[in-house]
A and B are shown apart, each in its own frame.
Chain A
Amino acid sequence: MIQTGIISRINLLSGSADLMLTILVTWSIQERVKNAWFWALVAGLMVGYVSGLPWFIPLAGYLLVVGIGRLLHRRVWQAVLLETFVVISISTFGIHLLTVAYLALAGGTFQLGEVISMIILPSTLLNLLLVISVYFLIKDLALWLYPSEVNL
Chain B
Amino acid sequence: MKSNLPRSLQATLIILILVGFVMLALGGYFGGITNWFGKITVGSQTWLSSRFLAISDFLTVPRDMASLRQRNIELEADVARLQTQIIELQQQVTQTEILSALVDFARTNPENTYKAAAVIGRDPNPFLRYVIINVGSNEGIVRGMPVVTQKGLVGRVDAVVSGAARVQLITDQISAVNIILKNSKTEAILTGSITGSLSLGMISHDVIIEPNDVVLTSGLGGDYPPNILIGQVVSISNPEDELFQSASIQPIVDFSHVEYVLVITNFQPVDITPLLPTPNP
Contact = CB atoms under 8 A, between A and B. Distances in A.
Contacts of B174: 103, 106-108
A115 B194 contact: yes
B128 A51 contact: yes
Interface residues of B, number: 23
Interface of B: 120-128, 130, 132, 158-159, 166, 168, 172-174, 193-196, 256
Interface string A109-131: 01000110011000100000000
Contacts of B130: 51-52
B90 to A, nearest CB: 19
A4 B126 contact: no
A8 B169 CA distance: 15
A4 B132 CA distance: 8
Interface string A52-66: 110000100000000
Contacts of A14: 126, 194-196
Contacts of B121: 1, 4-5, 8, 50
Contacts of A16: 124, 126
Contacts of A90: none
10 contacts: A4-B120, A5-B120, A9-B122, A11-B126, A14-B126, A51-B125, A100-B127, A103-B174, A114-B194, A119-B127
A20 interface: yes
Contacts, number: 80
Nearest to B172: A52
A106 B172 CA distance: 13
Contacts of B166: 50, 52
B173 to A, nearest CB: 5
Interface in A73-109: 96, 99-100, 103, 106-108
A78 B204 CA distance: 62
Given A4-B122, A51-B125, A52-B166, A103 B256 contact: no
A69 interface: no
A4 B124 contact: yes
Given A106-B174, A107-B174, A108-B173, A96 B195 contact: no
The list of the 4 closest CB pairs from A to B, nearest first, reads A4-B121, A8-B122, A52-B130, A110-B194
A20 B196 CA distance: 23
A14 B194 CA distance: 8
A128 B96 CA distance: 39
B168 A52 contact: yes
A29 interface: no
Given A106-B174, A110-B194, A3 B124 contact: yes
A99 B122 contact: no
A53 B256 CA distance: 20
B123 A50 contact: yes
Contacts of A3: 124
